[in-house]
């Protein structure tokens, strides 16, 4: 197997991806054919369940895009099942300590680097037995830093062997810092981002950001993040409808729900 996004990150290339909240195979396939480097299927806040992965991941198989799954919780069974369904990367929310980072790594890696149980149903169909010897080096294990506790332990979390990178959920980080959600210009937020980027640089790890918009994604890459999401399937659809109204010349008919920028979900 080859994780195309990890290959890019390891070579120092910056990477843009997208976020999938909707359990629709046609939207997933469209995103996979759009030029994104990776797609994250969201089991934490997205409108999908594990059973949806068994349809969504096959829908993008064969496309040059890396399937990543954000699990709902840092639980070995959730992580293992997502990997067995074909995920090549796992984003683990609310990692607040070295112990929690180690738990995520253990669930992502086969022995001797972890304690992932063997039963990769879809990967065996696609890769064969070679998957078992390659998975440890080709699965991306990404820890989300979203709280003050996570920030306090960020250097130790980044130093943990088997953690490939840190991922920022900016709004939850705002909540964790006690500042207004979405106040990304706040000094406390800027200092937190600097701490996360610094920890990644010191320990040779990748830094990722959930971007609510292409502009935020671009800013993240300029700041030093390795990868960022351009938006979500929902925001892409919303922006497409808004743009269609604008191009029609009937801007006065623009839907009211699109006239003010809205977060697409709680990240």
CATH of the domain at 158: 3.20.20.60
Give pLDDT tens digits along the chain (267 positions).
889 999 999 999 999 999 999 999 999 999 999 999 999 999 999 999 999 999 999 999 999 999 999 999 999 999 999 999 999 999 999 999 999 999 999 999 999 999 999 988 899 988 999 999 999 999 999 999 999 999 999 999 999 999 999 999 999 999 999 999 999 999 999 999 999 999 999 999 999 999 888 999 999 999 999 999 999 999 999 999 988 888 888 766 655 555 445 455 545
Buried/exposed code over 1-18 (b: 16+ C-beta within 10 A; e: otherwise): bebbbbebbeeeebbbbb
Note whether residue 23 is domain-resident: yes
Which tokens is 71 given?
Answer: 């699990």
Determine the pLDDT at residue 266: 46
Residue showing tokens 């068994």: 54
3-state secondary structure of 157: helix
Domain that holds residue 207: 4-232
Note whether residue 248 is domain-resident: no
Note whether residue 244 is domain-resident: no
pTM of the model: 0.93
Q: d(Cα 61, Cα 63) in Å, to the nearest integer? A: 6
Which tokens is 258 given?
Answer: 């699109």
3-state secondary structure of 139: coil
How many C-beta neighbours within 10 Å does residue 20 have?
29
Residues involved in catalysis = 45
Contact 62, 99 (CB under 8 A): no
Note whether residue 140 is domain-resident: yes
Note whether residue 50 is domain-resident: yes
Note whether residue 63 is domain-resident: yes
Note whether residue 28 is domain-resident: yes
* Total structural domains within the chain: 1
Q: Find the radius of gyration of the CA atoms of the chain.
A: 18
Note whether residue 97 is domain-resident: yes
């Amino acid at each position: 197997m080859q994780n195309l996004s990890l290959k890019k990150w390891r070579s120092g290339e910056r990477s843009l991806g997208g976020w999938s909240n909707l359990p629709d195979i046609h939207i997933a396939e469209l995103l996979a054919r759009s030029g994104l480097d990776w797609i994250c299927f969201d089991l934490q806040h997205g409108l999908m369940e594990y059973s949806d992965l068994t349809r969504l991941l096959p829908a993008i198989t064969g496309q040059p895009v890396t399937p990543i799954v954000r699990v709902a919780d840092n639980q070995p069974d959730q992580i293992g099942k997502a990997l067995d369904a074909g995920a090549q990367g796992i984003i683990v929310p609310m990692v607040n300590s070295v112990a929690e980072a180690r738990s995520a790594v253990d669930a992502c890696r086969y022995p001797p680097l972890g304690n992932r149980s063997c039963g990769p149903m879809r990967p065996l169909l696609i890769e064969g037995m070679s998957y078992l010897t390659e998975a440890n080096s080709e699965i991306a294990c990404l820890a989300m830093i979203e709280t003050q506790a996570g920030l306090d332990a960020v250097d130790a979390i980044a130093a943990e062997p088997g953690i490939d990178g840190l991922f920022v959920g900016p709004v939850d980080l705002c909540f964790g810092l006690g500042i207004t959600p979405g106040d990304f210009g706040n000094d406390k937020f800027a200092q937190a981002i600097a701490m996360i980027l610094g920890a990644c640089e010191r320990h040779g790890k990748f830094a990722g950001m959930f971007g609510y918009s292409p502009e935020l994604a671009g800013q993240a890459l300029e700041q030093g993040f390795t990868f960022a999401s351009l938006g979500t399937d929902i925001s892409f659809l919303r922006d497409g409808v808004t743009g269609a109204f604008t191009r029609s010349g009937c801007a006065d008919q623009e839907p009211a729900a699109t006239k003010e920028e809205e977060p697409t979900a709680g990240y």
